[in-house]
Each structure stands twice: as C-alpha cells, then as structure tokens.
Amino acid sequence: MKKVTVKHLTNKFKLGIFWGESILKDKYITVKDISRPALELAGYDAYYPKKRIQVLGKTELTFLASLDRAVQKERFKNLLLESVPCIILTRGFKPTNDMLDLAAKSQIPILGTDRTTTDFIALSTDLLDRDLAPTKTIHGVLVDIYGVGVLIKGQSGIGKSETALELIKRGHRLVSDDAVELRGIRERAIVGAAPKVLEHLLEIRGVGLINVVSLFGTGCVRSQKTVDLVINLEHWDEKKSYERLGLDRHFFTVLGVDIEMHTIPVAPGRNLAIIMEIAAMNHRAKKLGTNTPEDFTNNLNALIKGDEK
C-alpha cells in the first residue's frame, strides 16, 4: 500500500502546526479522499471514514462552538481515532485548548491553513491523487503527438527511439524514452512520465544519449502526459494478417485500465513517424465522432442492399 506522511503534506502546503510536530513523520495518509465531518459532529458516527484526513472549516467549527462545552469535547474526541492521520482547520481558525488537550491524549496532529476549505480540499486531493496513485514502470517511449499521448511499445532495437526522434523533428514532444513511469489517476486514466534520471534524454543506437532540450529546445518536451493510445511495433510477419479496415479494436491493459492499441508492422520503407501521426489524428477524430471504418462499412452495406433491390 502506498502512503504519504503527514509531514510531507505539511511541508507541501506550509501548514501551521498547533500540536504534534514531533510525530508528523510517523503519521501516514493511505487514502486519497478527504473527509469533512458533518453528521459526526451531530453525533452520528456509524460510518465515520476514520482513515481519511479530517478537515474542519467555518461551518463545522461554528456548529461545534454552538454546542455545550461538554458536548463539544465529546464530539471532537470521537473524531480522534487512532487511524485518523490528522485534523486540519481551514480559514485561519485556531483550535481551542480542549481540542489541543484531546489531540495530545489521542496523539493526533492538529494542523491549520489560511486557505478556504474548498480550495484546500481541492489542492490536497490533487496531491494525494498523484502521490497515492498505483504506479508501474514499463519499457517503451511516450510521445505527445497533436495532443494525443502515444505510448510506443515493442522489442528492444525495433526503432522506438529513432521514431521518437523523427517525431520530435516534426514538432512533437517527448515525455520519456526507454522507461515510462505510469500512474493510475481519477476517472480511470493513466498518466506517464519519465524517471528523473531519464528526463529529456533519448538513446540513439550508434550515437548514444542525446539531450532533447539542448538540441531542440524546451518546446520539444513535456513532463507528463495522459496515455491515450498505444502503438505496438513488431517485425513484419508475412504469415500474420494485419488490420486493414480498423473495425476490430484491441486494447493494452495496465493498472486496470484498457487503452486502445494498434499493432504496426515494421518493414523497410515504412515511415513510422507519419503512420503514428495519422494514428494519433485518427484517434482524435474518433473522439470527436468521426469513425471512418464504421462509416465505410455502413455505406458499403447500404450500397449492397441498394443493388439487391
């Protein structure tokens, strides 16, 4: 299970520390969702999400302050379960002495931010989405072609990096060469990036490593990109039947997400860069509602039915 320390969150957003500075590095966040307790403060805690960060804003703290002091202490104490990573107060609110005493007894950090509750939840959710996302590193090249993230796969030496170089020369952008770090994020999407040691580097056999930024400029790279399409390169097999019309759909599954995949046979004389540009444009056209293979099939069927009549 991936986890993030409360100290990391504190440093990232420069949170104020009301109590628990010495234990921040020992408190872990394992769930990306954020809780804003409401029913729990009203006394109903049957479904309290105790593994989440608990955020208290103006509404929650004002309601809590309206209660009798003994009830306040009881309701706040019920939030301080052992598995709760931390309590965060927004909008510059400060904890009461009772809150601090209860937090110390329960060993739950209390932190604060001047941000609004909505802004802080949005920012922290985005951070945790990235840091807690399932990851996998695979062999391949990731390129941004016309805004479409294309992951190029294939056996070593088949020409993935050389194709990426040609695409860069044609104005497209490199994300990663040789190894691609993939992360599963919201809405079943996969985002790819380069490992730190390989950022902006491209390996060309016979030449060696080149720095794409140094040779082509910063406009030819990007730090990450959603993987929209997978191109699998393989040596041309005369005995194999390759897709002609594009009616059959194939997918590459990674981290539980199915991504559309085309298998492109490699043979002398084939311009792989142009083929990938066309594949990317065709993929984007399909997203906009234009499906040429289906249109062709429908038109052909209509023509055949017309002849039969």
**Separation of alpha carbons 196 and 211, rounded Å:** 13
72 is in an annotated binding site: no
**Separation of alpha carbons 114 and 14, rounded Å:** 10
Domains of the chain: 4-131 (3.40.1390.20), 135-289 (3.40.50.300)
155 is in an annotated binding site: yes
Q: Which of 178, 183, 200, 228 is catalytic?
A: 178
Residue type, 256: G
12 membership: H or E segment, kind and range: helix 6-13
The answer to whether residue 101 is catalytic is: no
In tens digits, what is the pLDDT along the chain, a chain of 309 residues? 789 999 999 999 999 999 999 999 999 999 989 999 999 999 999 999 999 999 999 999 999 999 999 999 999 999 999 999 999 999 999 999 999 999 999 999 999 999 999 999 999 998 998 888 889 999 999 999 999 999 999 999 899 999 999 999 999 999 999 999 999 886 678 999 999 999 999 999 889 999 999 999 999 999 999 999 999 999 988 777 777 666 678 899 999 899 999 999 998 888 999 999 999 999 998 888 877 777 767 776 777 776 665
Residue whose structure tokens are 């005493």: 101
Confidence (pLDDT) at 80: 96
The answer to whether residue 244 is catalytic is: yes
Confidence (pLDDT) at 12: 95
The answer to whether residue 25 is catalytic is: no
C-beta neighbour count of 215 within 10 angstroms: 13
**Separation of alpha carbons 271 and 289, rounded Å:** 27
The answer to whether residue 139 is catalytic is: yes
pTM: 0.74
DSSP letters for 81-125: -TT---EEE-TT----HHHHHHHHHHT--EEE-SS-HHHHHHHHH
Q: 220, 213 in Cβ contact below 8 A?
A: yes
Q: Which residues pair with 201 in a beta bridge?
A: 211
54 is in an annotated binding site: no
176 is in an annotated binding site: no
Confidence (pLDDT) at 72: 95
Q: Which of 14, 239, 240, 244 is catalytic?
A: 244
Q: Which of 69, 139, 188, 235 is catalytic?
A: 139
| Tokens coding 216 | 């082509």
277 is in an annotated binding site: no
158 is in an annotated binding site: yes
Tallying the residues shown for the chain, one arrives at 309
299 membership: H or E segment, kind and range: helix 292-308
Confidence (pLDDT) at 300: 64
Q: 199, 210 in Cβ contact below 8 A?
A: no
Confidence (pLDDT) at 211: 95
**Separation of alpha carbons 276 and 266, rounded Å:** 12
Confidence (pLDDT) at 214: 94
Q: Which of 7, 75, 115, 160 is catalytic?
A: 160
